[in-house]
């Protein structure tokens, strides 16, 4: 086995181990959260997904307008924390108290809504403000984040919300992604920092499991879940066109 092959194997093992822990330990939480998602879709309401944080935004995009995903998902793709607007700007905005409140209010999240908040670390100001504001407005909130990372982060860390809240403590349902401190998982001789981030795998796996479980729940209830087909697959455009007249005016970033 070459050195590079061994590195690839080590990374694969860490990813598979983490996903295995989510599967083994978070199935009950995913099942409970899936009931909430299925309730919304069954009432033809939107499921909002917001990932306030540079790479956490990828999680919202992962389940939005996604082949095999629920049509009812509406990602909040606010420019403030997107890396496309500048990495340092993104980090500054996610640490700005009050910013998450503005995003929730701007998207009119309120009574009867369901919001899924995704963030690897579960502590930043935009995230915590989004959770507090949404719940104060009457929405249900599902959190997807690492309990370990949040609990082990010092109360005085500059990324933290002034209240020192962790996401998992203030949501209606929480899915623990178990991302380790610092995100990266590989030690390389002669390199001072770990490499090989893992949070994107964890977020994508947890969210896709959640959506698949919700779709299964809807089917078990006798409903016919609305699911996107890849536009690059045969019949994709025709299949998706059936939903566009219902959602184009309702889903902000469609």
Q: Any idea where the domains of the chain sit in the sequence?
A: 3-247
**pLDDT greater than 90 at residue 203:** yes
Q: What is residue 3's predicted lDDT score, i.e. its pLDDT?
A: 81
Q: What CATH superfamily is the domain 3-247?
A: Glucose-6-phosphate isomerase like protein; domain 1 (3.40.50.10490)
Q: What is residue 2's predicted lDDT score, i.e. its pLDDT?
A: 83
The average pLDDT across 218-244 equals: 93
d(CA 70, CA 213): 11
Beta-carbon contacts of 155 under 8 Å, excluding residues fewer than 6 positions away, are 164
Q: How far apart are the first and last CA of the chain?
A: 47
Q: What is residue 129's predicted lDDT score, i.e. its pLDDT?
A: 98
Question: How does the average pLDDT of the chain come out, rounded?
Answer: 95
The label of the residue with tokens 């919001």 reads 115
What is the three-class DSSP state of 122? Answer: coil
The label of the residue with tokens 């995913």 reads 30
Residues 129-170: tens digit of each pLDDT: 999 999 999 999 999 999 999 999 999 999 899 999 999 999
CA 97 to each of CA 101, 132, 162, 216, 237: distance values in angstroms, whole numbers, following the listed order: 8, 12, 7, 38, 42
Nearest Cα residue to 66 out of 229, 246, 248, 247: 229
Nearest Cα residue to 185 out of 133, 241, 211, 146: 146
Confidence of residue 208 (pLDDT cuts 50, 70, 90): very high
Helices (H), 43-98: 57-62, 87-94
d(CA 41, CA 241): 18
d(CA 67, CA 46): 17
The β-bridge relationship of strands 140-145 and 184-186 is unpaired
**pLDDT greater than 90 at residue 179:** yes
Q: What is residue 4's predicted lDDT score, i.e. its pLDDT?
A: 83
d(CA 227, CA 218): 11
Q: What is residue 163's predicted lDDT score, i.e. its pLDDT?
A: 94
**pLDDT greater than 90 at residue 82:** yes
Contact (Cβ atoms closer than 8 angstroms) between residue 65 and residue 228: yes
d(CA 146, CA 36): 21
**pLDDT greater than 80 at residue 88:** yes
**pLDDT greater than 80 at residue 1:** no
d(CA 111, CA 168): 21
Residues 16-74: tens digit of each pLDDT: 999 999 999 999 999 999 999 999 999 999 999 999 988 999 999 999 999 999 999 99
Beta-carbon contacts of 165 under 8 Å, excluding residues fewer than 6 positions away, are 123, 128, 131, 132
Confidence of residue 94 (pLDDT cuts 50, 70, 90): very high
What percent of the chain is predicted at pLDDT more than 90?
A: 93
What percent of the chain is predicted at pLDDT more than 70?
A: 100
What's the DSSP call for residue 110? -
Contact (Cβ atoms closer than 8 angstroms) between residue 56 and residue 210: no
**pLDDT greater than 90 at residue 254:** yes
């Amino acid at each position: 086995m070459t050195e590079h092959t061994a590195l690839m194997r080590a990374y694969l093992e860490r990813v598979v181990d983490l996903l295995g822990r989510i599967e083994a330990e978070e199935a009950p939480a995913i099942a409970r959260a899936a009931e909430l998602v299925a309730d919304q879709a069954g009432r033809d309401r939107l499921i909002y997904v917001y990932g306030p944080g540079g790479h956490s935004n990828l999680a919202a995009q992962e389940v939005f307008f996604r082949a095999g995903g629920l049509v009812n998902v509406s990602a909040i793709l606010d420019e403030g924390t997107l890396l496309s607007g500048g990495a340092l700007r993104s980090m500054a905005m996610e640490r700005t108290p009050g910013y998450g409140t503005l995003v929730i209010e701007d998207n009119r999240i309120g009574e009867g809504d369901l919001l899924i908040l995704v963030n690897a670390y579960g502590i930043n100001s935009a995230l915590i403000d989004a959770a507090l504001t949404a719940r104060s407005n009457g929405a249900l909130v599902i959190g997807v984040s690492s309990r370990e990372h949040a609990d082990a982060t010092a109360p005085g860390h500059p990324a933290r919300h002034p209240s020192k809240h962790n996401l998992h403590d203030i949501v209606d349902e929480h899915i623990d992604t178990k991302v380790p401190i610092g995100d990266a998982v590989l030690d390389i001789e002669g390199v001072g920092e770990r490499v090989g981030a893992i949070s994107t795998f964890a977020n994508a796996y947890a969210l896709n499991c959640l959506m698949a479980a919700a779709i299964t729940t809807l089917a078990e209830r006798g409903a016919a879940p609305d699911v996107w087909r890849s536009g690059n697959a045969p019949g994709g455009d025709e299949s998706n066109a059936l939903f566009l007249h219902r959602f184009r005016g309702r889903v902000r970033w469609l």
